[in-house]
Structure 1
Amino acid sequence: MVFSWQFNFAQTQPEAVSLEEAIAYGEQNNRNIQKASMEIKKAYKDQWSTIAIGLPQISASASYQNFIELPTSLIPAQFFGGNEGEFAEVQFGTPQTMTGGVTVQQLIFDGSYIVGLEASKIFLMISENIFEKTLIEVRKNIVNTYSSVLLARENIEFLEQNKENLNNNLKELNQLFKNGFEEEESVEQLRLTLSGVETQLRYIKNLERITLKMLKLMMGFPTDSPLFLSDTLEKLTNESLFKMEIPKNLSLSNNIDVKIAKNNLLSETLLYKYERSKGLPRLSAFLNGNYTGNSETFSFTESEQKWFGAALFGINLQIPIFSSLRRSVLTQKAKISVSQAENDLTETQERISIEVQAAENEYKLAVENYFTNKENLALADRIQQKNQTKYFEGVASSFELREAQLQLYNAQNNYIKSIQDVIQKKVSLETLLNISKQ
């Protein structure tokens, strides 16, 4: 069952994690997952609380009374041999009284209780759905963030290589300029390109640190503790990333939004039954036993104190007769809610079906773009190298070299983005289908 996670898994912090290990760690330690798991525990307690309503209820009571002055009653004096029409003043009882008793109550029949038992099960299922949805979102976010860190590091490698090449070119160009073989404008253009690469490199390095901290946060890992990512971008971009077949007759019943919509329909149906059950009678029984002690002084703790017992058994029957149409109106309202829930379920099923088709189409497009951008990157790299050679041979102009360099940088960015796009589109499709490698 999806809610049976325990949190003792993460008592020791790993120094390095693969993507699968990061997901497993996050499933145990992500705070949102822990909160959702606690909601399931609360739902279990609510279910038992509902069950307990139909079980025997035992309560005890005790009371102590001390009359500062006993009440006086008027009784016809003729009862005591007096004159007719006159009244005698009489005080009954003792100044101090103590009573203790136990009452047992048992519900025999209540239509709303039966519905409540069913509703507690549905509420538990809804809590499980929320947990599952949270789990799916955490998995999705960890995959995307883990890959974003690796992509940022790949981008850093590209930029550092570009920076090194530009620095080498700038040294050669400066020497040519000093010897009078090159114009100052060419040097300035190269410096401008280098400055842009350095700025982008600083930004990507900061982004990589921030993204890594975000990954730690999603995993429930201390953000200030070191964490090494053992997987490489090459491992993530293996053959399985670009192959995902979806059966034509695939059932969407496993989609979490469909599950939630189904349980919402069950919940509204039970609410409708609950409103109808209010017209049924309620039958309960009770048994009461108590002891009473009377005394002139506080002598209830003494062994000579006399106690007088009493016991009572009874049955209560409540029959709703007329509520000025209130029950009827509430029942009709609940029935309308059932119809709304049915429409919501139908709309959700159709929407998810379309979203799956759209996600599949976007995933296939992302895969095609990846291979196209991969080829473009290799092509742009060859073009830049040729133009660099031509430039220092005096065949190509500085403008042509700069254009080739910018084309290479753009191809690198497109390549990085295409990998990220494939990963995100595949994860989104897996999320809709509620499938994963785990």
Structure 2
Amino acid sequence: MFSRLIHAATYCIGVFWSVGAFSQAADTPSLALHEVLERALVHSAQVRKARWEREATALRISEQRRSGWLPQAQLSASADYVPALPTTFLPATLFGGAEGAYTAATLGQPWQVFASVRVEQPLFDESARRLTTAATWVTALQDLLVQQSEEEVIFQTTNLFYQVLQTKALLKALDAHQRQLEALERTVRVQVSGGSAVPTDVQRVQVALAGLQARRQELESGIEALLQGIQFVCGIPFSQPIALVETRRDTVQWMAMPAVAADQTTTYRLLDGRLSLLRTQERSARAQGWPKLGLYAQAGILSQRTDARFAASEGRWYPLGLIGLRLDWPLLNGYRHRQQVSALRLEARKSEEEREYFTQLRQLEQLQARSQWENARRTLYVREQGVELARKLVGQTQLIFQENKASLSDLLAAQTALAEAETQYEQQVFTCRLAEVKWLKAAGQLRTLLDK
């Protein structure tokens, strides 16, 4: 009876432990690279800032376009008290005086109220018309700035993602080496009990295990810090555990890396758009010296009294109305217009030089990225061969050690060589992947990483 109770309790504990482990695994989402990038693009403050700036620019451009051609209406009103009215001199003959004499007279009343509405409609403004094209370029540049911000987030997040996987791969290789050393420790203990080994051999294995455990702590701390970085850029709470998985199985295979024209990249299109914008602004600045023609109309009312009782029934209001054309032609503005045109021309030359420099720099980056990836792939093949040789060496040394034909130092050296070979191989795998990401950046194809 007692044994049955023990068996039932053991079964329940096992079930509860399994359910808890399953629940923890279910609460830990597994994120592939494209999922991490999608989350990062949604939660990135840099991308959100660029999008808000684009919306603000769109509002400003819409306002400028409307204000350039739609009529402008302005209502103005004033109520004045003039204690000292202006004095003028009128011919005395108006008041029955002598010919050639003048009489001083005051104009108006001390209390005055005036209200008017003025409407202006531009008819011809070449500078504003040319700025319409500039507004189109500004909108396109804002879209490119958003795209550039997204590419920067993709590049930084991808590097962080592969650093996590690389560190985990190193930890996995270290765990395998630790298990081998633990098995070796058990073997040496058996040999010590049989008299074919000394206790010092056990201590030497334990020293090697202690070094691996210290290295393991360093790797685990590094993984935790990198995962926190992923959680930060993806907007995931730090209390939520995550697991990163690699779904791209062909990253270490040979791939074609053809030369891509620099004008296919976002940065080049930004520089080219900025150059076009500066040239448009230069043409608009030239047109500021042209005449501007506009139509205006004004209507108003005026009342004057000796007191402030304008609402009295005997008060009189006098209407005012006019309509006309206005021509503005700047003839001399102190060379300000010429200096503005010259400054814009110099900025355009500077932008053109930056575009040419970027073209050459991007070609160099593509060549270096392609060379780095090819060298990394060749090195990976060498590392793979080294792992195979190290495994064969460990297997042969273990057989010889069991036959007491090899020393413990030889076996430990073989185990260490295998661990180093596996570590170098894992590092080289992700070196190839990071080299591929650098080439995608140089070729302007980082958004292909979002493909599932």
* Matched residue SS, 1:242: coil
Query: Are 1:133 and 2:148 counterparts?
Result: yes
Q: 1:19 aligns with which of 30, 33, 46?
A: 33
What pairs with 1:25-40 in structure 2 (closer than 5 Å)? Answer: 25-40=39-54
* Matched residue SS, 1:226: coil
* Matched residue SS, 1:99: strand
Partner in structure 1 of residue 163 of structure 2: 148
What pairs with 1:84-233 in structure 2 (closer than 5 Å)? Answer: 90-174=105-189, 176-177=191-192, 181-183=196-198, 186-219=201-234, 221-229=235-243, 231=245, 233=246
Contact 1:46–1:120 under 8 Å retained in 2: no
Counterpart residue identity of residue 375, structure 1: Q
Q: CA-to-partner distance for each residue in 1:355-393, whole Å, 9 max, x for gaps? A: 222212222222233333233223323323433443344
Query: Are 1:279 and 2:293 counterparts?
Result: no
TM-score, scaled to structure 2: 0.82
Query: Are 1:399 and 2:409 counterparts?
Result: yes
Partner in structure 2 of residue 341 of structure 1: 351
Counterpart residue identity of residue 52, structure 1: R
Q: CA deviation at 1:308?
A: 2.0
* Matched residue SS, 1:52: helix
Single out whichever of 199-208 and 426-435 deviates more from structure 2: 426-435
Contact 1:47–1:120 under 8 Å retained in 2: yes
Counterpart residue identity of residue 347, structure 1: Y
* Matched residue SS, 2:404: coil
Unaligned runs of 5+ in 2: 1-26
* Matched residue SS, 1:182: coil
CA distance in 2, matches of 1:124, 1:401: 68
Q: CA deviation at 1:292?
A: 1.8
Identity %: 17
Contact 1:276–1:331 under 8 Å retained in 2: yes
Contact 1:76–1:84 under 8 Å retained in 2: no
Query: Are 1:44 and 2:58 counterparts?
Result: yes
Q: CA deviation at 1:202?
A: 0.6
Partner in structure 1 of residue 253 of structure 2: 242
Q: 1:73 aligns with which of 87, 107, 115?
A: 87
Partner in structure 2 of residue 5 of structure 1: none
Partner in structure 2 of residue 9 of structure 1: none
Q: CA deviation at 1:162?
A: 2.2
Query: Are 1:384 and 2:394 counterparts?
Result: yes
Partner in structure 2 of residue 258 of structure 1: 268
CA distance in 1, matches of 2:403, 2:115: 111
Say if 1:296 and 1:118 are closer, same or farther in 2 by CA, change over 3 A. Answer: same
Say if 1:402 and 1:318 are closer, same or farther in 2 by CA, change over 3 A. Answer: same
Q: CA deviation at 1:413?
A: 1.9
Q: CA deviation at 1:131?
A: 1.0
Say if 1:224 and 1:301 are closer, same or farther in 2 by CA, change over 3 A. Answer: farther
Contact 2:131–2:281 under 8 Å retained in 1: no
Counterpart residue identity of residue 233, structure 2: M
Q: CA deviation at 1:50?
A: 2.2
Q: CA deviation at 1:330?
A: 4.2
Counterpart residue identity of residue 192, structure 1: V
Q: CA deviation at 1:350?
A: 2.5
CA distance in 1, matches of 2:205, 2:322: 102
* Matched residue SS, 1:201: helix
CA distance in 2, matches of 1:303, 1:22: 78
Contact 2:88–2:107 under 8 Å retained in 1: no
* Matched residue SS, 2:344: helix
CA distance in 1, matches of 2:30, 2:286: 59
What pairs with 1:311-330 in structure 2 (closer than 5 Å)? Answer: 311-323=321-333, 325-330=335-340
CA distance in 2, matches of 1:247, 1:303: 90
Q: CA deviation at 1:144?
A: 2.5
Counterpart residue identity of residue 436, structure 2: K
The structure with the largest alpha-carbon Rg is 2
CA distance in 1, matches of 2:38, 2:110: 72
Counterpart residue identity of residue 244, structure 1: M
Q: CA deviation at 1:255?
A: 1.0
CA distance in 1, matches of 2:206, 2:239: 38
* Matched residue SS, 1:309: strand
TM-score, scaled to structure 1: 0.84
Q: 1:368 aligns with which of 373, 378, 397?
A: 378
CA distance in 2, matches of 1:51, 1:77: 54
* Matched residue SS, 1:253: helix
* Matched residue SS, 1:370: helix
CA distance in 1, matches of 2:59, 2:161: 37
* Matched residue SS, 1:239: coil
Contact 1:166–1:194 under 8 Å retained in 2: yes
Q: CA deviation at 1:100?
A: 1.7
Contact 1:163–1:197 under 8 Å retained in 2: yes
* Matched residue SS, 2:58: helix
Single out whichever of 58-67 and 379-388 deviates more from structure 2: 379-388
Contact 1:72–1:89 under 8 Å retained in 2: no
Contact 1:366–1:421 under 8 Å retained in 2: yes
* Matched residue SS, 2:212: helix
Q: CA deviation at 1:51?
A: 0.8
Aligned-residue RMSD, C-alpha: 3.0
